[in-house]
Amino acid sequence: MYDVILFGGTDEGHKIADFLSQKNISHIVCVATEYGAQILDSVNVHTGRMTAEEMKEFFEEKGAKLVVDATHPYADKVTENIKKACQCKYIRIVRGDIESSGKSFDNMRSAAEYLEGTDGNILITTGSKELACFSGLSKRAYARVLPTVESIKLCQDAGFEMKRIICMQGPFSKELNSALINELDIKYLVTKRSGKSGGFVEKIEAAKENNTECIIIDRPVTEVGLSVEEAEKMILEWL
């Protein structure tokens, strides 16, 4: 039995997990992948994706008083399932947005269609999950993804040769991004509007420094929720 079930895998999730440990609040952290579990400094971890029905059963089994959703702002389907399954108190942690210059697109597909009408090398930093949208650009694009077997396979399935797959774990500084842009002669950088903790600022600044055009994938939904600090305060009040 746990007081809190935390859906993490993000910087915000790590901060909340640390906070719960420091306050001796019993909790279990849910992450989607083994990689997410490996980089998490927590004893109680549940690994694996769940449907809404599976989440409901999981919540009932663990007897949670509170569910904290600190998933990625682009994991909208996961958040939808959590809300659908949750029958106790629920907190959604949202990541602040940052205004920036660049071309914005609603989704990966529309961004890929735009890039198909351009020339020059492309650096894709949106992860491996939807990389198939860029398969038509695989001969002049580089994919920067997490260093996992699953990520590499998704890259290869999308038509990316090994020499065009960059496996690295962030966070990435502006200097590192800039060096990569220069080394690979990048003309277009594809990024999600992931916010400050998602390394968005460092990518935007590096691109600007090198006259590289930013291709920005907007968030799927505009969310209302709490900051990490606000969530921590509410957790203490509720528990």
**27-62 per-position pLDDT tens digit:** 999 998 887 777 766 668 999 999 999 999 999 999
Tell me if 122 sits within 8 A of 186, measured CB to CB.
yes
Spatial CA neighbour of 4 closest among 158, 231, 166: 231
pLDDT for the residue numbered 145:
97
DSSP per-residue letters across 123-163: EE-S-STTGGGGGGGTTTEEEEE-SSHHHHHHHHHTT--GG
| Per-residue pLDDT at 189 exceeds 90 | yes
Contacts of 232 (CB under 8 A, 6+ apart): 16, 19
pLDDT for the residue numbered 10:
83
pLDDT for the residue numbered 42:
65
The mean pLDDT of 114-125, rounded to a whole number, is 98
Tell me, what amino acid is at 44?
Answer: N
The mean pLDDT of 13-29, rounded to a whole number, is 93
pLDDT for the residue numbered 197:
67
- How confident is the prediction for the chain on average, in pLDDT? 92
The mean pLDDT of 218-223, rounded to a whole number, is 81
- Cis before 147? omega within 30: no
Higher-pLDDT residue of 220, 97:
220
* 128 vs 105: CA distance, rounded Å: 18
* 208 vs 10: CA distance, rounded Å: 26
The mean pLDDT of 73-78, rounded to a whole number, is 88
Task: Please report, to the nearest 10 degrees, the dihedral formed by the alpha carbons of residues 223, 225, 227, 229 taken in order.
Answer: -170
Give the global pTM: 0.76
Q: What angle separates helix 76-85 from helix 52-62, to the nearest 10 degrees?
A: 50
DSSP designation for 186: E
The mean pLDDT of 137-161, rounded to a whole number, is 97
